Amino acid sequence: MNWISNYVKPTINSLFSRREVPENLWRKCDECGTMLFHRELTDALMVCPSCQHHMAISPRARFEALFDGGAFVTVPVPEPLADPLGFRDQKRYGERMREARRKTGEHEAMLVGEGTIGQAEVVCAAQDFSFMGGSMGMAVGNAIIAAAERAVAKHCPLILFAAAGGARMQEGILSLMQMPRTTVAVQMLREAGLPYITVLTHPTTGGVTASYAMLGDVQIAEPNALICFAGPRVIAQTIRETLPEGFQRAEYLLDHGMLDMVVHRRDMRDELATLIRMLMSLPPRSHGDLPAPEAAAPAPLPEPAPEPAPAAKAPAAKAEAQPPRG
C-alpha cells in the first residue's frame, strides 16, 4: 500500500508512528476473560474473537478501518478555554487533562476526520472513551460543531461514533451547554439536507445520549453497547427497581424502538457505505472498492470508456479494510 504515502502525508505519517504497541502483548477480554494476543485483537478491530464483545477502539484505529484505504485527513477543531472554572476535586482538572493526553496521545476526547467511505465523501467524528471517559466538554462540542460545519461545506454526511460516560463535570454548566450547542450542529446538517448518522458504542450515557447521540437520521449501535441516560446503578440505588436482563443494552433499545439497527463492528463500514450512498442519492456501490487515489493512478485507459466511470477502481483489491500499522 505504498501509494498511501503519497496521500495526505502529514496525517498518515503521524498516525503510523503514533503509538508503539508491543506486538507480544496479551490482553484479557473485559467480558469473557479470554486472554487475547494484542495483534489478534487489533486485527479484529478490538472485538473479542471468542465472545464477540466489542471493546473500546480508539478513534484513529476506527478511522483507519473505516475510511477507504485507511486514509483520512483530520478536521481542525477550535481550541476552547482551558479550565474556565478552575475546577479541582481530588485532583486539578489540568492535571487530569495532562494525564489523559499522555495516556492516549490525543489532544481531546473527540477526533474528526474526513475522507471517503466506499468512495463517498464523508466526515466522521469519533469519541474516545479512553480520554477521560469520552466526557463531553467544550472541546467535544467544538469538535461536533466543526464536523457539522465541514460536512455542510463539503456537502456530505456526518457519521458520529458516540462513546462517553456523559458530560465533563470539570467544566460544570459549560459541559451541560454542549447539549444545546451540539444540537445546533445537528440542525445545521438538517437544514443543509445532509444525513446525520449516529453509531452508539459502549458506553453511551448521560447528557451525550440526551443530545447529539439520539438525534440521528439513522441510529446504529454496536452489539451489547450500554446506552442510557440514567445508568443501571443509579436506577438500582435511587428507585430500587429490579432491572431485566439486557436492560439498556443495544439489543434491548432496538426492541424498544430506540434504534434502527445493531451492527457488528466488522460490518460497520459496509453498512455505512450502503446507507450514505442511498441517502446521498449516489449510484449503488461497486464492491471490491479500494480506490487508488487519483494522484497515484494517472494511468491512461487503454481503450475509451463507454461512459465516464463514477470512480476508478483497483480491480483486484480486497474490500476488507486492514487497519494499517507502522
Partner 1 sequence: MQNYLDFEKGLAEIEGKAEELRALSRKNPDAPVEKEAAALDQKAHDLLRDLYANLDAWRKCQVARHPDRPHTADYIRALFTEYMPLAGDRNFAEDRAVLGGLARFDDRPVVVIGHEKGNDTRSRIEHNFGMARPEGYRKAVRLMDLADRFRLPVISLIDTTGAYPGKGAEERGQSEAIARSTEKCLAIGVPFVSVVIGEGGSGGAVAFATADRLAMLEHSVYSVISPEGCASILWKNAEKMKEAAAALRLTAQDLLKLGVIDRVIPEPVGGAQRHPDETISRVREAIASMLAELSGMAPEALRSARRRKFLDMGSKSLV
Distance separating alpha carbons of residues 224 and 171, to the nearest angstrom: 30
Q: Which is nearer to Zn ion, 6 or 34 (CB)?
A: 34
Nearer to Zn ion, 33 or 193 (CB): 33
Q: Does 305 bind partner 1 (CB under 8 A)?
A: no
Interface stretch with partner 1, choices 27-35, 58-66, 77-85, 294-302 (CB under 8 A): 77-85
**Residue 63 Cα distances to 122, 123, 255, 283, 324, angstroms:** 11, 10, 29, 24, 11
**Residue 61 CB: number of other CB atoms within 10 A?**
20
User: Could you give the 3-state DSSP secondary structure of residue 204?
Assistant: strand
Whole-Å CA distances, 154 to 148, 178, 190, 247, 256: 10, 24, 14, 39, 35
Q: How far is the CB of 71 from partner 1 (least distance, A)?
A: 31
Among 238, 267, 284, 316, binds partner 1 (CB under 8 A): 238
Binding partner at 229 among partner 1, Zn ion, none, C-beta below 5 to 8 Å by kind: partner 1
Task: Judge residue 228's burial from the number of C-beta atoms within 10 Å of its C-beta, 0-12 exposed, 13-18 middle, 19 or more buried.
Answer: buried
Q: Per rule CB under 8 A, is residue 179 in the interface with partner 1?
A: yes
In this structure, what C-alpha cell is assigned to residue 85? 472554572
User: Which of the stretches 10-18, 51-59, 238-246, 261-269 binds partner 1 when contact is defined by CB under 8 A?
Assistant: 238-246
Q: Does position 239 bind partner 1 by CB under 8 A?
A: yes
Question: Minimum CB separation from partner 1 for residue 241, in Å?
Answer: 5
Judged by beta carbon distances under 5 to 8 A according to partner kind, the member of partner 1, Zn ion, none in contact with residue 87 is: partner 1
List all residues 6 or more positions away from 305 whose beta carbon is below 8 Å from its beta carbon: none
Interface with partner 1 (CB under 8 A), residue from 213, 220, 226, 275: 213
| Residue from 210, 279, 312, 317 in contact with partner 1 (CB under 8 A) | 210
Q: How big is the chain by its Cα radius of gyration, in Å?
A: 20
Q: Checking phi first, is residue 287 left (phi over 0); if not, alpha (psi -120 to 50) or beta?
A: beta
Residues forming the site for partner 1 (CB under 8 A): 80-81, 83-90, 138, 141, 145, 167, 169, 171-177, 179-181, 183-184, 186-187, 206-207, 209-215, 227-230, 234-235, 238-239, 241, 243-244, 247-248, 256-258
